[in-house]
Amino acid sequence: PTRSEITYFGAGPAALPTDVLEKAAQALIDYQGTGLGIAEHSHRSELATNIINEAKADLASYLDIPTDQYEVVFMQAGGTGEFSATVYNLVGAWVVRQHAAIVKELGEGAGESAIVEALRKKVESDLKLDYIVTGGWSLKAYQEAQRLLGPEYVNLAADARTLSDDKKFGKIPEESSWNLSKDAAFVYYCDNETVDGVEFPAFPEILRPDANGNGPIVVADMSSNILSRRVPVENFSVLFFGAQKNLGCTGVTVAVVKKSFLAPSVTQPSPALMRKLGLPIPPIVLQWEIIAKNNSLYNTLSIFDVYIAGQVLKKLLATYPDKVDGQQAVAEKKAKLIYDALEAHPEAYRIVPDKSVRSRMNICFRVIKNGTVDESEKAFLKEATAQGLTGLKGHRSVGGIRASNYNSIPLEGAEKLAKFIDSFATA
């Protein structure tokens, strides 16, 4: 089929707007009449810096990120890299805070070995990382923290699998049941679980900062729902997202980091101190502080990927005068069309997650019409593909059908899928 004949519902990489790709194709050959393509220009050139700065500014504008308090950095190791970066950077920041408190307590005259000994005890008794596990991706992040730091420091503060008889994801545990640590190095959650179709309906109340802005250090993975709804940025210390769903193409990951976690406020502890404490030392490319200090150019960055993200943002800003609120309204409308079509045929479909936490981005369901589920789903996928509705197969770990309803799916694409869902059920 040709590009215009299909609507691609894949979970990521996602489809990109055709006009953005056409412009990018030209830019790959010759960027702005320089005779050199965008992937060939130096990342140290003024032109590259302009692309980075514009993409940062447009992202901040679109999401209303308060840039006096937050820094946007482009990272390179994917969402998975940020699972590790979160642990390294925020454990480092925790050690810096504890070190300062111990020096204050013991007095300026205290010897280095006494300080390290007190710190070692503090690590042993108090260092805790809290994870809210609501799907496959937060589970992976939790497991990475255990691997890097040791399971004794990592607290499974909530586990959605305990809520179902078959230990599957599909609900978010009541906030009152979350077992949060006192003064955790951070609390982590995944705002939208791409594999399981579970999305937080709103920011968790229990993590909300008080009137003075004091609260837990909250980190969220927003890889698969960023740019699709308003984000209360001030409630987070860090949020991150890979580009390959709603922002651009695979290759860059964005971290939005509160400036109080970057130099000069909190610097990372020395490698020597971390070694004495038996805590891991981050690879330098995963240190937000280093990347931020270098405006995302500590080492060679794919400027092409940043350019694509920048063009997507420019298109969003031009399309929606009320910025992300405009896109949010469309995302909700598209999701409702698809869920309504599924709900109209309970004899043919079973939506996987609980209604209260259904994702607007990844719509996961089973086809139960006739024969076995397996046969029904094969028939559904085959007929959908024949109609140009592609990429609907569920993640290999859970099976079923998944319609990824990212920003690049036009309203007509969602309408077409809703119609197909209806006609398949009644055929």
Point out which residues bind ligand PLP (CB under 6 A).
12, 78-80, 137, 190, 194, 221, 223-224, 242
Angle between helices 303-319 and 46-63 (to 10 degrees): 40
Smallest separation (angstroms) from ligand PLP to the CB of 56 = 20
Amino acid in the structure at residue 82: E
Residue whose CB is less far from ligand PLP, 155 or 194 = 194
Residue whose CB is less far from ligand PLP, 102 or 312 = 312
Smallest separation (angstroms) from ligand PLP to the CB of 12 = 5
Q: 346: Cβ–Cβ under 8 A, 6 or more apart, which residues?
A: none
Smallest separation (angstroms) from ligand PLP to the CB of 199 = 10
Q: Which residues pair with 189 in a beta bridge?
A: 220
Smallest separation (angstroms) from ligand PLP to the CB of 227 = 14
Q: What angle do CA 317, 193, 222 make, to 5 degrees?
A: 35
Q: In whole angstroms, give the CA distance from residue 396 to residue 353.
A: 17
Residue whose CB is less far from ligand PLP, 190 or 351 = 190
257 close to 73: Cβ distance less than 8 angstroms: yes
Residue whose CB is less far from ligand PLP, 88 or 137 = 137
Smallest separation (angstroms) from ligand PLP to the CB of 138 = 8
CA distances to 227, 344, 384, 404 from 379, in Å:
33, 19, 8, 19
Q: In whole angstroms, give the CA distance from residue 321 to residue 418.
A: 28
Smallest separation (angstroms) from ligand PLP to the CB of 222 = 8
196 close to 136: Cβ distance less than 8 angstroms: yes
Smallest separation (angstroms) from ligand PLP to the CB of 223 = 4
How do the residues of the chain divide into helix, strand and coil, expressed in percent and rounded to 5? 45, 15, 40
Sheet holding 362-367, edge to edge: 349-351, 362-367, 401-404
Smallest separation (angstroms) from ligand PLP to the CB of 297 = 20
Residue whose CB is less far from ligand PLP, 224 or 405 = 224
DSSP notation for 28-72: HH-STTSSS-TTTS-TTSHHHHHHHHHHHHHHHHHHT--TTTEEE
Residue whose CB is less far from ligand PLP, 190 or 389 = 190
Smallest separation (angstroms) from ligand PLP to the CB of 245 = 7
Residue whose CB is less far from ligand PLP, 223 or 287 = 223
Q: Convert 102-123 to b/e letters by CB count within 10 Å (16 or more is b).
A: beeeeeeeeeeeebbebbeebb
298 close to 284: Cβ distance less than 8 angstroms: yes
DSSP class of 14: P
Smallest separation (angstroms) from ligand PLP to the CB of 202 = 18
Q: In whole angstroms, give the CA distance from residue 352 to residue 115.
A: 52
Residue whose CB is less far from ligand PLP, 127 or 226 = 226
Q: In whole angstroms, give the CA distance from residue 70 to residue 18.
A: 32
Residue whose CB is less far from ligand PLP, 87 or 367 = 87
Q: In whole angstroms, give the CA distance from residue 16 to residue 408.
A: 6
Residue whose CB is less far from ligand PLP, 253 or 376 = 253
